[in-house]
Structure 1
Amino acid sequence: MKSFIREFKDFAIKGNMIDMAVGIIIGTAFNNVVNTLVKKVVMPPLSLLTDDVNLANRKYLLREATDTAEEVAIGYGELIEVLIDFAIIALTIFVVIKFINRFRKKSEDPKNKQVPTPKDIELLANIERLMEQQNELIKNGSKKL
């Protein structure tokens, strides 16, 4: 039990828990933005295309409401809205990651002098250059024999 508590303490202190909490909070806020975008920006033009039908209210009625029983219906309109939410979130995440990867590739390119190269990438580039020089010396030395 003590090792479990120690592991949890290490996990929390190293910042993993804080990073995860920040990610969840940002994700929740992003979800609210996407929901508003879908409901207030995307869905109104779609409802115009469907003769002012609000997609959220679209359903397939299985049983009408009576005095003793509630209505039973499949709400496919809400499913359509959720799928649109998902598509917007997936597209946004794809664009953001593509944008980040482009800058990461530029920063990791040791030949690009516009972006300062991180020290570890610079050291690896130097090692690669030295190995190429060493291979050339070995090739030239074996040709002379």
Structure 2
Amino acid sequence: MWPCVTKIMKKFIEEFKEFAMKGNVIDMAVGVVIGGAFSKIVTSLVENIITPFIGIITGGTDISGLMVKFGNAQFKYGAFLQSIIDFLIIALSIFVFIKLIGKLKSTVIAPEEIVEESPALTTSEELLVEIRDLLSKEKNNS
């Protein structure tokens, strides 16, 4: 291979490794995997418990099977409604989960008080601050 292509490829691989090994990317990947598993649980909850319950309320109607036919075309709006219900339940579950984690953090894990002390100024720094303040004052008076 040409030397310039090899350098570009090496730099690209190094940058990609740095990007891929950052904590945020790994945390995001774990979140996606857990989110996928959580989504399956919620979808099962909706399909096997909530949808039949709604079917009982609506007189045995299966929401996911609702559709309208126009000629050969089928508009399956029931499947769309089912997806909306899935989304709302997933969003609600995540919201509740995040709220619980927030409460646990604030009650169980006491936040540490971070007190930042400004470092003491040296004599020359104190003089520079005084000069700056005097110059600013003089400028404002003019």
TM-score above 0.5: yes
Query: Could you report, residue by residue, the CA deviation over 1:5-24 in whole angstroms, capped at 9, with x for unpaired residues?
Result: 22211122334443232222
Letter in structure 2 aligned against 1:50: T
Query: Could you report, residue by residue, the CA deviation over 1:22-63 in whole angstroms, capped at 9, with x for unpaired residues?
Result: 222111111110110000010001111222111111001111
5 Å-filtered alignment, 1:43-122, equals 43-63=51-71, 71-106=72-107, 115-117=109-111, 121-122=112-113
SS of alignment partner, residue 122 of structure 1 = coil
Structure 1, unaligned stretches of length 5 or more?
A: 64-70, 108-114, 128-145
Distance in structure 2 (CA, Å) of the matches to 1:9 and 1:94: 33
Q: CA RMSD in A?
A: 2.1
Distance in structure 1 (CA, Å) of the matches to 2:25 and 2:106: 28
Distance in structure 2 (CA, Å) of the matches to 1:116 and 1:55: 47
Length-normalised TM-score, structure 1? 0.65
Percent identity, please. Answer: 39
**2:21 maps to 1:13:** yes
Q: How many residues align?
A: 109
Larger radius of gyration: 2
Structure 2, unaligned stretches of length 5 or more?
A: 1-7, 118-142
SS of alignment partner, residue 123 of structure 1 = coil
Length-normalised TM-score, structure 2? 0.66
